[in-house]
Structure 1
Amino acid sequence: MAHTSRVTVDREIVGDVLRPAYDFIVCGGGTSGSVVARRLAENPGVSVLLLEAGGSDRVSSVIDSTRWMSNIGSERDWGYRAQPSPSLNGRTPPLPMGKVLGGGSSINASVWARGHRNDFDSWAEETGDPGWSYASVLDIYRRVEDWTGPADPRRGTGGPLRVTLPENPVPLAPALVGAASALGIPPVADLNGDPMESDGGCGCPNLLVGQDNVRVSMAATYLHPAMGRPNLHMVLCAEVTRLKLSGNRVTGVEFVQWGRTHGVSAGEEVIVSLGAINTPKLLMLSGIGDQAELATLGIPGVVHLPGVGKNLQDHVLLAGCIWEYQVPEAPRSNAAEFALFAKSDPSLPGPDLMPTLDEFPCASEVTATQYDVPVGVDSAWTLAPGLARPVSRGSVRLTSADPMAAPVIDANFLSAEEDVQALEYCVELCREIGNSAEVKPFVKREVMPGPLSGDELRHFVRNAAGSYYHETCAAKMGRDRMSVVDGSLRVYGVEGLRIADGSVMPRITSGNTMAPCVVIGERAADLIKTRYGMS
């Protein structure tokens, strides 16, 4: 379901809706949180409170799927940046995260990428829970999808999410498919089909885009139709600052709205869905994390979980390999209508490269000053090298006990040599595609990087690399000492608390992370319903 005119109330006024207690409190109305809140509220016998730090998603830059980049750095972005990194030549790349109802699904590129078979099977192995296996996850995907593309028993129809292919992609997109296929990357009609069970493929991505480029977000799909339910209250501009605990049991939350602190109780559970930066931040502020680190900040300890804030992962995106258009072409659909998955090393268990087309010039703050980059969204196009299986790991740490203080985020992009080598390979692959005979009719000139090798190529990679906007894995599920939640998403050592967002991934999935986060939300709701006998 896309954005509709039926949504007339944001329910932002605490005095109008807030009760002293609810059965379930969902912290965060992003991709996973939207799913959890809606699914729990489908049972009229339970009360659900959804707290979202951002505002309404009913703004033009959210609704128009081609304008997603304009949300980056706006009030709909948390505005986090990574710490200066020697592996990025001292740069501090931005780490965009949605701060708006719908979270990342309201500001992203609308790509629906399921993830590779090996990703989910590894989750099942790490948790000991077959419910996270690829076979089990396929059942969830079939349930939520309304796939309009080629028939495939792996795809679902009739679900709430209309998943489609670009109806009229820019002419450059099929040319890129032809160029990639000439290099041995098989063209496919569905990137969520065979490429997610094999060594890769190329084609147009699956999209959550409705008619007239209207975004299909999780807020629009799951929450807008439920806004009139008396048992579901949604409070916007409400930043959760602490979990309320009695011993090791979570009994509610505190949140701040417009400078005023509020408290509300949870009769059954609190579900934290704040994303891979704010979820560990909230846990640590509440005394859940590495007790030695928290003690230095004067935060009373509750449960020692040293894995909180560790294992941070993100796909790495290079901005980018750019060509000036022979004839200017305005972006269409989601402005990213081509992608490929491939291996930099044939011995890898799955594709580790995920370049994507950006139908506009996309350069980093450094490379934009080093090259003559055309001005205007229709002046040039970018084939952005991407890393799907990073080896590098980062962390999230607190700077103080002040909940309004930003955390320290060490992204550690390209700290592993394997990641640098893979991206060097990917730059060469993108240049070979972009300079091919198939693509030549769309090229006036190659803007960057040109023919580089050795130290020059490595320097370009470090100057161009940044976030793919897929921060995940900082509160991972598993069974080792660094795990934060079990296979049922319950926080170890704490009662009445689950995490349902991308931070629980043990390893980031191959491809954009919105679809796996929907799966996490759906599975969390299923687990909770089973636990409490809810239909």
Structure 2
Amino acid sequence: MYDYIVVGAGSAGCVLAARLTEDPGTRVLLLEAGPADTAEEIRLPMAWPRLLQSAYDWRYLSEPEPGLGGRRRVLPVGRTLGGSSSINAMIYVRGNKRDFDDWAALGARGWGWDDVLPYFRRAEDNTRGADELRGVGGPLGVTDNSSRHPIMADLIKAGVQAGHPRNPDLNGAQQDGFGWYQVTVRDGVRSSTAAAYLRPVVHRPNLHVWTDTLVHRVVLDGGRAVGVEAERAGELVSLRAEREVVVSAGAYNSPKLLMLSGVGIPADLEAMGIRPVVDLPVGENLRDHPHVALVYLTDTETKETQFTPENLELWRATGGGPLSSNLGEAGGFLRTRPDLPAPDVEVTASPAMFLDEGLTAPYDHAFMLGPTLLTPTSRGRVSLRTAMPGSAPRILHNYLTTEEDRQAVVRGVRALLSVADQPALKAHRRAPLSVPDSDSDADILRFARRVTNSLFHPVGTCAIGSVVDPELRVHGVTGLRVVDASVMPTLVRGNTNATTIMIGEKASDLIRGRGAADDQDVSDGSWSAAGQPTGLT
């Protein structure tokens, strides 16, 4: 018997487990389907591409995407302690102030910018120091890259040459412009939520962490969540929650679990032989950031040749050197139309070859830059493939299926072609490797349909308003909440991990019935641990 069972030890789940167990009288069980995060590749910032399609990834694929010529897309999702914060590229972007004020305007009371900023600050231990936007002393390491590649420095110069502002702080008061990203790294080591939140407090006697445990369903009794059924070591176990079950399995797996538990669209559940309990649009409103990669061969030495035994030993000894880079060191935000109220494109770049969604092994020196659509109008859905808990869900994003998105991607690609054509980047270009055949709308769109990939930012499938209320309680069920990226009613303008961590911070106060975050409340001061593996099981 536990007070809270948290399903999913990911970006939000680890935050919840750490915060809820600050009360020594509160018993928390944290369940994770994947293994412990003991691989060195998880800790090593530049190794994150090696984690894709590994044992630490759910290895999901989309359904054939109609807007991309029927192509299926790779959809990486973290399957280990820390979830996607353990396999992502560590870029720390909060989004635009307007994003959260839009949430509040849509009915998400308490989720406007002024409401969420204290939780961003509470999470952070930012090496830039504390001010009205940043926090220090929190669990999450947020730093500037210690290793910066010259191509990325020249990307920023090229952005300025193309007419965009230089932005020294992409999480500052103004989002527009090119600059260096901050990253979730501390002392050269990835600062996942497992390393930052969970590991420093794992000694608490009221915190129990089970890995390799697949939850089959939430047990509902008389309209109340009373526990879960889960499979561990081949055995089906029933686990009771005295207060609440909190589903934190992510934008793909949280709706899947709710549907397996009878919460969803009745006709869809009945087709799978599942008895509907609560009629809610679970799995609808799926949103993601589509990304288009422009790739150029170069004679400049890129990161590919820096993954050497000597540099690995340097990182092991000091946390520094080339391997402390997250690859996605620099980028920016721009508006492809002057009448837009905020940026509609994020610039994603890397001083390394990126082909076929990152699945093709690099074979030459190359660099990548490209637009990511921040506010796509295309909507997808997550649905059940079978009623078996071990089956992957059906995931359809519907990338580029609206005219607005097709026009936006053409404008975005054209804007980045212009950046690539500026003197600062042109000096690095040997030859184009993966670019449109011409600058025409038709050729750009044809190219985008062929290469568009997910930037791994799915949200919205258990959205505030339609599936959960502003306190993240599932409509029609007592004692059940969803706390992860799936509750975002719309996408934020930027990478979603920082916002997901903020959601975990705010949810912990909602669950405990506490008021707004005290910016100086960083618990018992145990957040300074370096995040070394301890064999959590």
Alignment TM-score, normalising by the size of structure 2: 0.89
Which amino acid letter does the alignment assign opposite residue 207 of structure 1? V
Q: Which stretch shows the higher mean deviation, 233-242 or 423-432?
A: 423-432
1:206 aligned to 182, 186, 193, which one?
182
2:423 alignment partner, SS class: coil
1:77 aligned to 57, 64, 77, which one?
57
Distance across 2 between alignment mates of 1:251 and 1:365: 41
> 1:464 maps to which residue?
451
Please list, as runs of the form range in 1=range in 2, the aligned pairs for 1:40-119 lying within 5 A after superposition. 40-119=20-99
8 Å contact kept, 1:195–1:341: no
Relative distance call for 1:450 and 1:81 in structure 2 (3 A) is closer
1:191 aligns with 2:170: yes
Distance across 1 between alignment mates of 2:34 and 2:359: 32
8 Å contact kept, 1:366–1:464: no
8 Å contact kept, 2:298–2:431: yes
1:364 aligns with 2:356: yes
1:433 aligned to 419, 437, 456, which one?
419
Distance across 1 between alignment mates of 2:362 and 2:471: 50
Shift of 1:152: 4.2
> 1:120 maps to which residue?
100
Q: Which stretch shows the higher mean deviation, 264-273 or 73-82?
A: 73-82
1:447 aligned to 423, 433, 443, which one?
433
2:241 aligned to 243, 255, 266, which one?
266
Shift of 1:429: 1.6
Which amino acid letter does the alignment assign opposite residue 205 of structure 1? Y
Distance across 2 between alignment mates of 1:195 and 1:341: 10
1:225 aligns with 2:205: no
> 1:7 maps to which residue?
none
8 Å contact kept, 1:323–1:434: no
Which amino acid letter does the alignment assign opposite residue 385 of structure 1? P
> 1:515 maps to which residue?
498
Relative distance call for 1:151 and 1:272 in structure 2 (3 A) is closer
Shift of 1:395: 0.2
8 Å contact kept, 1:40–1:48: yes
1:243 alignment partner, SS class: strand
1:311 aligns with 2:297: no
2:363 aligned to 345, 368, 375, which one?
375
Distance across 2 between alignment mates of 1:58 and 1:488: 34
> 1:343 maps to which residue?
335
Relative distance call for 1:85 and 1:240 in structure 2 (3 A) is same
Distance across 2 between alignment mates of 1:451 and 1:189: 34
1:155 aligned to 112, 126, 134, which one?
134
Distance across 2 between alignment mates of 1:512 and 1:189: 18
What residue ranges of structure 2 are gaps of 5+ in the alignment? Answer: 305-321, 516-522, 524-537
Shift of 1:451: 4.9
Distance across 2 between alignment mates of 1:45 and 1:33: 19
Distance across 2 between alignment mates of 1:365 and 1:293: 31
Distance across 2 between alignment mates of 1:448 and 1:367: 15
1:323 aligned to 296, 304, 312, which one?
296
> 1:390 maps to which residue?
376
**Number of aligned residue pairs:** 496
Which amino acid letter does the alignment assign opposite residue 206 of structure 2? N
Please list, as runs of the form range in 1=range in 2, the aligned pairs for 1:269-308 lying within 5 A after superposition. 269-305=244-280, 307-308=281-282
Distance across 1 between alignment mates of 2:50 and 2:370: 18
Q: Which stretch shows the higher mean deviation, 146-155 or 262-271?
A: 146-155
Distance across 1 between alignment mates of 2:343 and 2:441: 24
Shift of 1:43: 0.6
Shift of 1:86: 2.2
Distance across 1 between alignment mates of 2:302 and 2:272: 53
Which amino acid letter does the alignment assign opposite residue 41 of structure 1? T
Distance across 2 between alignment mates of 1:181 and 1:217: 33
Alignment TM-score, normalising by the size of structure 1: 0.90
Shift of 1:166: 1.5
C-alpha distance after superposition, 1:434-474 (max 9, x if no partner): 22111233222222215522322211100010110111110
Which amino acid letter does the alignment assign opposite residue 161 of structure 2? A
Which amino acid letter does the alignment assign opposite residue 313 of structure 1? R
Distance across 2 between alignment mates of 1:367 and 1:42: 42
Shift of 1:298: 1.5
Q: Cα RMSD over matched residues?
A: 1.9
8 Å contact kept, 1:84–1:90: yes
Distance across 2 between alignment mates of 1:210 and 1:140: 19
Shift of 1:399: 2.4
> 2:310 maps to which residue?
none
C-alpha distance after superposition, 1:7-45 (max 9, x if no partner): xxxxxxxxxxxxxx1000000000000101110011100
> 2:316 maps to which residue?
none
Shift of 1:485: 0.3
> 2:463 maps to which residue?
476
> 1:486 maps to which residue?
469
Which amino acid letter does the alignment assign opposite residue 407 of structure 1? P
> 1:248 maps to which residue?
223
Relative distance call for 1:184 and 1:472 in structure 2 (3 A) is same
C-alpha distance after superposition, 1:30-84 (max 9, x if no partner): 0000101110011100100000011111201111111111111111111111111
What residue ranges of structure 1 are gaps of 5+ in the alignment? Answer: 1-20
1:73 alignment partner, SS class: coil
Q: Which stretch shows the higher mean deviation, 358-367 or 260-269?
A: 358-367
Runs of 4+ in 1 over 6 A off after TM superposition: 365-368
Relative distance call for 1:430 and 1:298 in structure 2 (3 A) is same
> 1:15 maps to which residue?
none
Shift of 1:428: 1.5
Higher relative contact order (CA 8 A, sep 6+): 2
Distance across 1 between alignment mates of 2:168 and 2:359: 34
